[in-house]
Chains A and B, each alone.
Chain A
Amino acid sequence: MMLYVKNISRIITVALFALLSLLPSNASATIVEGTVNSSKELNNFITHHVKDAHSWHIWGENKTQVNADGTVNVLSSTAIHIGLPVILIDNGLITANSDDFNELRWIEQDGDTTYYAQGKINETEYIMFHEKIYHLGSGLKLDEKGHPTNSRPLDFSLTQNVMSMLLSVVILMLLFLPAAKKYKKKGIVSAPTGRQNFLEIFVVFVRDEIAKPNIGEKKYARYMPYLLTIFFFIWLNNLLGLVPFFPGASNVSGNIAFTAVLAVITYLVTQFSGNKDYWKHILLPPVPKALYPIMIPVEIIGTLTKPFALTIRLFANITAGHIVVLAFMGIIFSAKNIGWAGLSVPMGLFISVLELLVAFLQAFIFTMLSALFIGTAVEEHSHH
Chain B
Amino acid sequence: MDLIIPSEGLLFWTTIVFVILLVLLRKFAWKPILGAVQTREGNIQKALDSAKDAEERMNALTAQNEDLLKQAREERNVILREAKAAGESMVAEAKESAQKDADRILVSANEQIANERMKAVVELKNQVGKLSLEIAEKILKSELDDKAKQESLVNHLVEDVNLN
> Which A residues have a C-beta under 8 Å from some C-beta of B?
5, 8, 47, 50-52, 87, 130-132, 154-159, 161-162, 165-166, 169, 172-173, 176-177, 179-181, 183-184, 187-188, 199-200, 203-204, 207, 221, 224-226, 228-229, 232-233, 255-258, 260-262, 265, 315, 319
Option from B9, B17, B18, B29 in Cβ contact (under 8 Å) with A155: B9
Q: Which residues of chain A have C-beta atoms less than 8 A from B28's C-beta?
A: 5, 8, 176-177, 180
A229 with B26: CB separation less than 8 A: yes
Option from B11, B25, B31, B35 in Cβ contact (under 8 Å) with A260: B11
Dominant SS at the B interface?
A: helix
A92 to B151, CA, bound (A): 210
A229 to B22, CA, bound (A): 6
A132 to B5, CA, bound (A): 12
B40 with A225: CB separation less than 8 A: no
Q: Which residues of chain A have C-beta atoms less than 8 A from B2's C-beta?
A: 47, 51, 130-132
Dominant SS at the A interface?
A: helix
Most-contacted residue by chain B among A176, A183, A207 (CB, 10 A): A183
Measured CB to CB, the closest approach of chain A to B120, in angstroms, equals 113
Q: Which residues of chain B have C-beta atoms less than 8 A from A258's C-beta?
A: 10, 14
Sample of 16 further A-B pairs with CB below 8 A, known A169-B17, A224-B34, A257-B7: A5-B28, A52-B10, A87-B9, A155-B7, A156-B12, A162-B13, A183-B33, A187-B36, A199-B33, A204-B37, A229-B26, A255-B6, A257-B10, A257-B14, A260-B6, A262-B18
A159 with B10: CB separation less than 8 A: yes
Most-contacted residue by chain A among B5, B31, B32, B35 (CB, 10 A): B32
A257 with B11: CB separation less than 8 A: yes
> Which B residues have a C-beta under 8 Å from some C-beta of A?
2-15, 17-18, 20-22, 24-26, 28-37, 39-40, 43
Knowing A47-B3, A130-B2, A161-B10, say if A173 contacts B32 (CB, 8 Å): no
Measured CB to CB, the closest approach of chain A to B35, in angstroms, equals 8
A156 to B25, CA, bound (A): 25
Q: Which residues of chain A have C-beta atoms less than 8 A from B34's C-beta?
A: 203, 207, 221, 224
A156 with B14: CB separation less than 8 A: no
B32 with A183: CB separation less than 8 A: yes
A200 with B37: CB separation less than 8 A: yes
A199 to B37, CA, bound (A): 11
A8 with B24: CB separation less than 8 A: yes
A283 to B12, CA, bound (A): 32
A319 with B3: CB separation less than 8 A: yes
Measured CB to CB, the closest approach of chain B to A43, in angstroms, equals 12
Measured CB to CB, the closest approach of chain A to B24, in angstroms, equals 7
A13 to B85, CA, bound (A): 97
Knowing A162-B10, A166-B17, say if A188 contacts B40 (CB, 8 Å): yes
A226 with B9: CB separation less than 8 A: no
Measured CB to CB, the closest approach of chain A to B38, in angstroms, equals 9
Q: Which residue of A lies closest to B19 (CB)?
A: A265
Q: Which residues of chain A have C-beta atoms less than 8 A from B20's C-beta?
A: 169
A-B contact pairs, 9 of them (CB 8 A): A131-B2, A165-B17, A169-B21, A188-B43, A225-B25, A225-B31, A228-B25, A229-B21, A265-B18
A262 to B10, CA, bound (A): 12
Option from A50, A188, A224, A233 in Cβ contact (under 8 Å) with B18: A233
Q: Which residue of B lies closest to A89 (CB)?
A: B8
A256 to B6, CA, bound (A): 6
Q: Which residues of chain B have C-beta atoms less than 8 A from A224's C-beta?
A: 30, 34
Option from A162, A203, A207 in Cβ contact (under 8 Å) with B17: A162
Q: Which residue of A lies closest to B20 (CB)?
A: A169
Most-contacted residue by chain B among A187, A188, A232 (CB, 10 A): A188
B22 with A158: CB separation less than 8 A: no
Knowing A225-B26, A226-B22, say if A159 contacts B33 (CB, 8 Å): no
B6 with A176: CB separation less than 8 A: no
A348 to B20, CA, bound (A): 36
Q: Which residues of chain A have C-beta atoms less than 8 A from B37's C-beta?
A: 200, 203-204, 207
Q: Which residue of A lies closest to B35 (CB)?
A: A183
Measured CB to CB, the closest approach of chain B to A38, in angstroms, equals 21
Option from B13, B22, B25 in Cβ contact (under 8 Å) with A165: B13
A176 with B10: CB separation less than 8 A: no
Chain A to chain B: the 6 pairs with minimum beta-carbon distance, closest first: A257-B6, A257-B10, A176-B29, A183-B36, A225-B26, A261-B14
